[in-house]
Structure 1
Amino acid sequence: MARTANRRERAEEASLRKESGNSFQTAIYTRISRDKKEKPGDSIENQIALCESYIKKNDGHNLVGIYKDIAKTGTEFERPDFEKLMGEVRTGKVNCIIVKDLSRFGRNYTELGNFIEKIFPFLGVRFIAVNDNLDTFHMEDPNKSLEVILKNIVNETYAKDISKKISTSHQIRIKQGGFICGAAPYGYTARKDEDGVRRLYIDENTASIVKEIFDAYLKGFSTLDISKLLLEKKVYIATDYRKFGKAKADENELIRAWMPTTILQVLKNRVYTGTLIQGRNQKHLFEGKKRERLDEEHWTITEDAHEAIISLDTFEKVQEKISSKSNSIKNSRKENKNAKDDTVFRGKLYCGICKRKMSVHRQKSGNKTVFYFSCNRFREFTTEKCATSITEATLEKTVKAAFDAILLNNSKSYKAYLNAYDNLKIEMDKKKEKELTEIDRRISGLSRLQSEYYEKYVLGKWRKEDFEREKGLLGKKKAELESLKERQVAIFEKEVFELEERHKYLTALFKGKTKKWDKDFVDSIIDKIFIGKDNTIEIKFNFEETPVITEKLGRKTRRS
């Protein structure tokens, strides 16, 4: 009885508000999911059109915003535009929400029931679901609330059912030897059988190449050697095979080389023994959780799912060989990770040829650790490595020479900048305050005009059409000013950041003349260093417009 009385009170309040000429500050909320079976009528455009039509036919609504969540599930309420809308509700800018139907607002009946029964009444928000003929200010009948809850149970059951059907369907196909992934592994082709299950079949064009890869590895070929062998035989990489439809290129055709890491993936893939391993990852469709990696015990492993290309004996021999090699690499990496000494240039060096980050290596020379950098990556269309390299000693000598040259040539201008830093910052703050104050003044003026226009409309001095037109123009101007303010704030913040960073850089630069170089100091003065194969080094110092190009061993520097 108490709930019924409260609803009647809210209905009376709505009626009084309407009679007094006050409009509800109304927002339209729309949502569409990723479901390919989504009805055409549920498109964002159709939802907006339906809600706008409702507003036109029913007086007392002032449309203040349209909120759209695209490709968002209805089973959870953590959606970007929904959260923006609730923020406007909490600040009082919105006190009425209109949706096409309840399923657009959400498919979780517990949460939606909580909004309708508790949250919206507490916040004094009117909620309208057009197609469900639901208006919370006209819910005198307590049975109407039960009807809403029941309808949402149907919505949630639908979401759960879809999730369960998809998951069950996948599991059935996997157990039948079905391949539910995308492209078939190299050496196989995937096609649907008469029972509708997609299975793997040997691809006669590429199966022999898979066998050749395994045989070569057992004969002592490294993955790099196998890459060179495949390049000599003009064998397309897997993606190009799918693109061109043939395994090998013509005699004079330029092709891309197989990456050693790709060859290693082939050698470790159990699919070539006839075993399918699927279900390594799982996504809970209904709960809306992100895809997660499952432990091996939860994988779905199907033995003899298709014809094998490699015998189990051959595959196991290859795995033993891979394991013995990887253990030595892991031990070496572990030693490097646990080592207390390190190079201050780690992460700063890039190959001048392929532009990718160079690897760091360490060697023991008596009791001393010696570092060097190298790039062992392939250039495209070849198995030739970039082969750029440099020792830490040579690098340090070269970089310090370039550093000294910069300081010598620019010392006077740098000191003048540092001396003027405090005044520059004060002037920048004054400029920011002046410009933002002016924008705020103009926004306040528009807000006053909006109040005056509304007062004229309420007193009958303006027609509704005139009021709507002028209100729209003012709203547009106000939005432009708000946008201008945001841009100006971003510009000022960027300028201040650059000023402070340059001050930090130049301060560090002068300290570097006397202090020992450490990682923090190198990070503060150097952006990137490119090592070329022709004895050249390109050093990009922070806040230096042009890089310094010099030769190894600290030869004379020259500006690019």
Structure 2
Amino acid sequence: MSGATNKITALYCRLSQEDERLGESLSIENQKTILLEYAKKNHFPNPVFFVDDGYSGTNYDRPGFQSMLVEIEAGRVGIVITKDLSRLGRNSALTGLYTNFTFPQYGVRYIAINDNYDTIDPNSVNNDFAGIKNWFNEFYARDTSRKIRAVQKAKGERGVPLTVNVPYGYVKDPENPKHWLVDPEAAAVVKRIFSMCMEGRGPSQIAKQLQEDKVLTVSAYKQSHGRAAAAISEDPYAWKDSTVVGILERREYTGCTVNFKTYTNSIWDKKQRLNPVENQAVFPNTHERIIDDDVFEKVQEIRSQRHRMTRTGKSSIFSGMVYCADCGSKMQYGSSNNRDFNQDFFDCALHKKNRSKCRGHFIRVKVLEGQVLNHVQRVTDYILCHEDYFRKVMEEQLRVESTEKLTVLKKQLARNEKRIADLKRLFMKIYEDNASGKLSDDRFDMMSQSYDAEQKQLEEEVLSIRQEIEVQEQQIENIEKVIQKAHKYVHIEELTPYALRELVSAIYVDAPDKSSGKRVQHIHIKYDGLGYIPLDELEAKEKA
């Protein structure tokens, strides 16, 4: 026996999900029985269990292990016993660190029963083989991890949802847990959150409104329906900005399954990192949608923009959508100190910084709103009366524009892909030259960094070009969406934030023309998914 009798004998048990599949022999109860019998047989004093049930041996940040470590560092442990070395952990380097350094440092004797490992006898042959056994334990963890990843990858590529937690707004289908059904009550809240975002409200404003309206938070709602074991916070209506953001960014609400959204670097580092969109797998129409695709995409666009508020705390429904027609700069929203809405305006950002680079494109919000509303009314009325002709004209216009853009984009894509292939060959060449001594290490480092930076930039451009090509190829489909929206908003009398965001993507403001003695100012509206609509030409042909 080692150590004073007032010290405890720590009996450590660990069981992971992978170990649990191997049967009863590794169960926590089985380990406890073996450890306690061994302690009694050898008259080890004050046995105390430290248990980690459901924890991987690759990670040492386990509550039971950490509690035992606190007792060891406090000098209250004389002996540590495990069923075998793998129960202590499956990282050969860290397991060796604890058995060879930490435990001896605090005068702790360590025993692994089934491996005949006991630090009281440093000359034991079994102790000499401990390093090899630790390596095999680590290999087992790596091999298990590879198999699990392979299974998950295969499931994910088949479109099986990999997420354990069903998104708020859905529930598991009782007949098929891998299929989701819409939860009407929660789905209504999801729709409301997207609607408020479309109206121009930010996550903090949305969270505040939900709290004021006494809407249960996600966790409180799930627990109220018996779907969560976690305790409700003191305020079940205290929505957080991050929760709102998470809902607004979940593509699953469009009826698709999204797999491989996160990844881990290794079996040792369990931190979840966001996977780039191009590495994710998206499977459309796997469950009923709550949010339409165009609304989801519009919300992502809105969230990528910064809506400027004035010093008085005011903002405009047009914020982030108004641009200078000459220089392309955003026009900034401003208001008068007397809080008179009629004095609110937009002004070219570049003009405000440097008047010599851009003329004034100042426009009152009231004037802008009137012109936009008038144009929307004319467009929706025209489509309602001349739907077939509108479809024919816009299809021809988009076909011409898309053909020209696609030609340019595909040429640029081919150039970029060719250059990326050249860079890969050049890198292999300088690598071989460096290995053979023809190229110095310093020169190799400089050239490889340059090639790497250029390749990353080109790959980002390739991704952007491919996305734009996809957009151009889907242009014809957008005509039908615009026609549907026109039917929805025909005879519109007020320009609401939601209607504006759903119909319009950008507004370009011309400089005022005063040549006639009166101030005349034109705007150009880009409609969402369609671009500019040649309304004047269409109306002129109708009259002719």
TM-score by structure 2 length? 0.40
Higher radius of gyration, 1 or 2 = 1
